[in-house]
Amino acid sequence: MKKEMLAIALAVTFGVIATGHAADGKATFEAKCKACHGVDGKGTIPAAKAADIKKDCVKTTTDGKGKMPSYKGKLTDEEIKAVCDHAATL
C-alpha cells in the first residue's frame, strides 16, 4: 500500500511539474515572442518548424540570430527550454 501511495504521489507531482512547465512556456511565449512570431508562431517573423525548434530553438533563443535578439540573461535556461517546448507545439 505504501508503494502504491508513493507511486501516486510521484505521478501527481511530476504531472504538476510538467503542466507548470508547459504553462510557463506558453506564458513566456505570449509575453516575449508573440509580438514577432504571432500567437500561432506564423507572425511577421515565423517561428522555425517543429523539427528545427527541437534542434536549434534553445541556441537561437539564448544567443540570438539575425533579427532574433539574444535572451541570455533575460530568461533562465529553464524558461528558454519551456518556451521552446511550447513553440514546438504550434
pLDDT (0 to 100) of residue 10: 40
Class of domain 2-87: mainly alpha
Model confidence over 25-77: pLDDT tens digits?
999 999 999 999 888 888 777 766 666 666 788 999 999 999 899 999 999 99
Separation of alpha carbons 13 and 48, rounded Å: 32
Contact 62, 80 (CB under 8 A): yes
Give me the residue spans of the domains in the chain: 2-87
Separation of alpha carbons 19 and 32, rounded Å: 20
